[in-house]
Structure 1
Amino acid sequence: MNTPPDVFFLPADGEQRLCLFHAPAGEPRSRVLYLHPFAEEMNKSRRTAALACRALAEAGHAVLQIDLRGCGDSSADFGDASWTDWQADVRLGLHALDERAPNDAPLWLWGLRAGCLLVTADWGRPVNYLFWQPMTSGKLALQQFLRLKVAAEMAAGASKGLMEQMKSELAAGRSIEIAGYRLGPSLASGLEAAKLNPAGAPGRVEWLELSTREDALLTPASEQAIKGWQDTGWTVRPQVVQGPSFWATAEIELAPALIARTVEALA
Structure 2
Amino acid sequence: MRREAFFLPSTVGQRLVLLYSPEPAEKLRGAVVYVHPFGEELNKSRRMAALQARAMASAGYMVLQIDLLGCGDSSGDFGDATWEAWLADVKLASAWLQERTTAALWLWGLRSGCLLVNEAAHRMQGPVNLLFWQPVVSGKQFLQQFLRLKVASEMLASDGKGVMERLRGQLRQGEAIEIAGYLLAPALAQGLEQADLLLPHRSGRVEWIEISGRADASLSLAATARLTQWQAAGQEARGTAVSGPAFWQTTEISECPALLEASLRALSEEVPA
Q: TM-score normalized by structure 1? A: 0.94
**1:221 and 2:222 correspond:** yes
> What is the DSSP-based 3-state SS (H/G/I as helix, E as strand, rest coil) of the residue aligned with 2:19?
strand
* Alignment partner of 1:108 out of 95, 106, 109: 106
Q: How does 1:2-151 map to 2 (within 5 A)?
A: 3=2, 5-25=3-23, 26-100=26-100, 102-103=101-102, 105-121=103-119, 122=122, 123-151=124-152
- How far 1:14 moved relative to its partner? 4.4
**Is 2:193 the counterpart of 1:192?**
yes
- CA 1:225–1:92 in structure 2 vs 1: closer, same or farther (change >3 Å)? same
Alpha-carbon distance in structure 1 between the residues aligned to 2:112 and 2:12:
26
SS of equivalent residue, structure 2 residue 215: coil
Per mean C-alpha deviation after superposition, the further-off stretch among 156-165 and 252-261 is 156-165
Deviation at 1:135, TM superposition (A): 0.7
Q: Cα offset for 1:149?
A: 1.7
Question: Contact 1:21/1:62 (CA < 8 Å) preserved in 2?
Answer: yes
What is aligned with 1:182? 183
CA distance in 2: counterparts of 1:28 and 1:124, whole angstroms: 21
Secondary structure of the residue aligned to 2:169 is helix
Query: Structure 2: how far apart are the matches of 1:158 and 1:76?
Result: 35
Contact kept, 8 Å, 1:124 with 1:200, in 2: the verdict is no
Q: Between Structure 1 and Structure 2, how many residues are aligned?
A: 263
SS of alignment partner, residue 99 of structure 2: helix
Tell me the distance in 2 between the aligned counterparts of 1:240 and 1:201.
Answer: 25
- Unmatched segments (≥5 aa) in structure 2: 269-273
Q: Is the 8 A contact 2:130 2:203 kept in 1?
A: no
Q: What code does the residue aligned with 2:105 have?
A: L
User: What amino acid is aligned across from residue 267 of structure 2 in structure 1?
Assistant: L
Name the CA distance, whole Å, in 2 between partners of 1:132 and 1:52: 11
Q: Which amino acid aligns with 2:73?
A: D
Counterpart of 1:120 in 2: which secondary structure? Answer: helix
Gaps of 5+ in 1: none
**In 2: Cα distance, 1:50 partner to 1:109 partner:** 16
TM-score by length of 2: 0.92
**How do residues 140-179 of structure 1 correspond to structure 2 at under 5 angstroms?**
140-156=141-157, 158-179=159-180
Distance 1:264 1:40 in 2: 28
Q: Deviations 1:167-200 (Å, cap 9, x if unpaired)?
A: 1110111000000000000000000000111233
